[in-house]
Amino acid sequence: MSNFTEFVSQLNETLSEVSRALLGGNFTDCGHVSQKSIFPIQISLTLLLGLIPVLFFLIRKSRKHIDRPAKFEFPTPEEAKPNWKGKRLIPADISQQDDPDHIYCYCPATAQYLGKFKSDSKESIDAAICRARQAQDKFYHDPDFNVKRRKVLKTLNDFIIRNQEVIARVACRDSGKTMVDASMGEIMVTLEKINWTLKNGEKALKPSSRPGPSNMLMRYKKAEVWYEPRGVVGALVSWNYPFHNILNPVIAAIFSGNGIVVKCSERVRWSSEYFISLIKTALRVCEIDDDLVQLICCWGKDGDLVSGNPGFDHLTFIGSIPVAKKVLKAASDVVTPVVVELGGKDAVIICDDYMKKKGVDAIASVVMRGTFQSAGQNCIGIERVIVAGDDEHYNELVKSSLKRWLL
């Protein structure tokens, strides 16, 4: 211990001498520093350089520990259990004449009754936006914002992996799709979106530079783009993928520091309630105000209460062209920016050499699967098949596809 104390004392003395020489501006005075007194400096610098990668590793490890996913459990609704026996809704319709204020939920595959929810009014929609705005302000200005936004996405990712069967059953019960379709269209794509955001989100939101003026007299100017939260965004989502279509905008909103109000389809009001509730639970266990994410649902005739609401700072819409026109018109009256996703005429192009390599029957199976995934209710489902080459391959593919379609 005495040798170490002597070493530290000598090191401090040497550093003090060098500092006095440097601060005095007389660099020639440093010549009297002996080789013996410089030796401890060399050792300390070597140790310091060796410690830098160790410290870097420890910092990265501690960050991973801080934003480690929080574990939580969420009850499975009785209606989503495999052997659930529920009464049937007759007539099977979301609107019942004797109760026009409520949205009725049922399984399209069996007509089993799932529950009913009151259609949101202007007052309840405004209140939801207000709650989201207050929570967004606290969330974005939280000193731990960068850690918490990653932690909550990791928490959701962990929960989805552990409970994917339950999530798929809830989506199936409310939309009538099969478990295979739910696994592919609800679970896999949602996990991929979370993982992509965790890996690339911070890089995508970093300030980026833009070219300055070409004029020599203005070359001193520079331009940068900084990304800041909109505030409260609204997402008007469709029914065909009830879990994915809710999680998709919620993931982006949380990571970019926005509050979000999701307007779900009346067709999947029951499952949307479950999915939003589990998101709110994930927010709470990560010490984030769960008012950051809100759910609303109203009849189509009251759609302007959402799309024409001045409380939103941005809107996204998934649906048809006729409804999109109404959304855009209402939003333009209050100057709210809108992004719409209206599907498309997705094409598969089959080249002549690929047809010969794989065979007509194998390709026909892939085409049919891509066309009728989720009973065709698929934004990227195949709607056009383009066959390159001669007519013979085209006719063979049509014949093989018709045979499968008529089974």
Q: Please list the active-site residues.
A: 341
- Exposure on the CB side of residue 65, measured as CA atoms within 13 A: 6
Quickly tell me which residue has 């996405």 as its tokens. Answer: 153
249 near 235, Cβ under 8 Å? yes
Cα 125 to Cα 121, 261, 291, 391, distances in angstroms: 6, 9, 13, 57
Nearest to 178, CA basis, from 168, 167, 192, 189: 168
Report the phi/psi class of residue 258: left, alpha or beta, with left for phi > 0 and alpha for psi in -120 to 50.
Answer: beta
Q: What does the CA dihedral 238, 251, 137, 236 come to, rounded to 10 degrees?
A: -10
Strand partners, 294: 261
> Under DSSP, is residue 183 helix (H, G, I), strand (E, B) or coil?
helix
> Under DSSP, is residue 320 helix (H, G, I), strand (E, B) or coil?
coil
Tell me: cis bond preceding 75? Omega within 30 of 0 counts.
no
Nearest to 396, CA basis, from 343, 345, 347, 358: 358
> Under DSSP, is residue 139 helix (H, G, I), strand (E, B) or coil?
helix
Q: DSSP letter at 141? A: T
Report the phi/psi class of residue 21: left, alpha or beta, with left for phi > 0 and alpha for psi in -120 to 50.
Answer: alpha
372 near 339, Cβ under 8 Å? no
**Beta pairing, strands 259-263 & 232-236:** parallel
Nearest to 400, CA basis, from 358, 368, 354, 352: 368
Structure tokens that stand for 352 in this block: 């002549």
Sheet holding 232-236, edge to edge: 293-296, 259-263, 232-236, 314-318, 338-341
Sign of the four-CA dihedral 151, 183, 262, 200: positive
What H or E segment, with its residue span, contains residue 249? helix 242-255
Identity of residue 57: F
